[in-house]
Amino acid sequence: MHRDKSIGIATAIAAYTLWGFLPVYWKVLGEVPALEVLSHRIIWSLVFVTLIIAWGRQWDKIRPIIAEPHQMRLIILAAVMIALNWGLFIWAVQSNHLLDSSLGYYINPLIAVLLGVVVFKEKLNPWQKLAIASATIGVLILVIKAGRFPWLSFALALTFGTYGAVKKAVKASPLVGLALETAVLAPLALVFILTRQASGQGALGASNLLVTLFLLGAGVATAIPLILFAFSAKRIPLSTLGITQYIAPTLMFLFGVFVYHEPFQLVNGISFGFIWLAVVIYSLSQTRVLSRKEANQVL
């Protein structure tokens, strides 16, 4: 049991670390328009996960989802949300907005809490209220400093938060869910790619070999972290999994500041300080709540 949990923790760290390194991947494709990169990501993700499903003979897990109209509506909604999230993220990385992306994924859990309050009328405990207040101060500092609301960060958080909420209601496994979501998006993505290729503007085969290989590998780069995440989720407590999720935005933040040298002033540091405080408070409150739930389940 202890060994199983250790493997679960290791795979969770690996998944979030790979997600944290994804900006480097999209930076290599910086000369390719974000919409074209997104289209390739959709197509090659579908190809890769379909091969895995075929190898594991998991076709029987797809049929019940397709046969249920409500589940397919959820799949379509999830597909739209993840396409918006992927597209925004790729564009943000290519346009030197990695710090905005990092902020978005830091505040994503807190946005999920707010959605719960507004949509599902959930009650906040005192620690959650304190976390929300701290994050709000951090965002307000950015707004006052920049003179504008950080729409990109909130768009990333909202699309991913909504995607996560929809996925909870989908009965498919993460791999099958990704296959169905990309299958929904694939026709439009394929038409866009073929149109670009036919007009001579397509990047596949026209750019240097590295760009072509990275476009073809977009499916592997997308699916591998998801598979590792699904593997870990079955083996470690939710409280542990919840804390590891901040590895990805932390790596994005470090890449943005130290590798890609995005503007970062003292006021940014103060703002992120309040947001990091919110993350710590929220994580501790969730750890306590989830630990009590897990203990009760054992008892």
| pLDDT digit string, tens, across residues 126-142 | 887 888 888 889 888 87
Q: What is the pLDDT of residue 289?
A: 55
Q: What is the DSSP string of the chain?
A: -HHHHHHHHHHHHHHHHHHHHHHHHHHHTTTS-HHHHHHHHHHHHHHHHHHHHHHTT-GGGTHHHHH-HHHHHHHHHHHHHHHHHHHHHHHHHHTT-HHHHHHHHHHHHHHHHHHHHHHH-PPPPHHHHHHHHHHHHHHHHHHHHHTS--HHHHHHHHHHHHHHHHHHH--S-HHHHHHHHHHHHHHHHHHHHHHHHHTT---TTTS-HHHHHHHHTHHHHHHHHHHHHHHHHTTS-HHHHHHHTTHHHHHHHHIIIIIS-----HHHHHHHHHHHHHHHHHHHHHHHHHHHHHHHHH-
pLDDT over 60 (residue 35): yes
The tokens describing 192, both together, are 């866009």
What is the average pLDDT across 237-265?
84
Share of the chain above pLDDT 70, in %: 90
Q: Where are the domains of the chain?
A: 2-298
* Lowest-pLDDT range of 34-48, 142-156, 276-290: 276-290
Global pTM reads: 0.87
| Band (299; pLDDT cuts 50, 70, 90) | very low
* Lowest-pLDDT range of 58-72, 141-155, 219-233, 253-267: 141-155
Q: What is the DSSP string of 72-122?
A: HHHHHHHHHHHHHHHHHHHHHHHTT-HHHHHHHHHHHHHHHHHHHHHHH-P
What is the average pLDDT across 203-230?
89
Quote the mean pLDDT of the chain.
Answer: 86
